[in-house]
Amino acid sequence: MTTLIERFASKHDRFAFDCGKPSLNDFLTRHVSQYEKRNLARTYVLVREGEVKVLGYYTLAGSAVEFDTLPTDVTKKLPEHPIPAILLARLAVDRSLRGQRLGARLLRDCFARCLLLADQIGIHLLKVDAIDDDAAQFYEHFGFTRFPDQPDQLFIPISVIRQAAGT
């Protein structure tokens, strides 16, 4: 299956999407267009080449992380004010396609996009709010660390993403 990841547009058929998590389905079917129009976030969808049916997606938004919420080994040499971040607000794959590593594909695309953004505006880390412990474990597998006092929130420094990408 040849797939593409592209920015969400009204042409995308998102109404049959079902990842098994109502809040993630609801965002895609009911709210994504308004988030796009109001510049609240950007959503990137996975589709088969030549098709418009959404197979998976992720959403990015600007964010910041309070300095004192990060572990001390991360805050060394950082100023004591909110740290610039990108929020990976959502990531989901249709449950009919589980086990095909499409979530990993979406996350790698997210990482590449974050590196481009970090070069343009300066971003220190990528943050995610995991919807449940399975999601948190998925992110940990890719190098994310849980916030000490908020185990459902995880982060990965842009420097770690850059190092893994070899750039």
CA separation for the pair 80, 65 (Å, rounded): 11
- Given a contact cutoff of 8 angstroms between Cβ atoms, the answer to whether 164 and 140 are in contact is no
Q: Annotated catalytic sites, by residue?
A: 139
In sign, the C-alpha dihedral spanning 137, 138, 144, 147 is: negative
Strand ranges inside the chain, DSSP E: 3-7, 42-48, 56-65, 83-93, 125-129, 145-147, 150-157
164: how many CB neighbours lie within 10 A of its CB?
Answer: 13
3 beta partners: 48
The residue among 45, 17, 27 whose CA lies nearest residue 129 is 27
CB 103 within 8 A of CB 93: yes
Tell me the β-bridge partners of 46.
5, 56
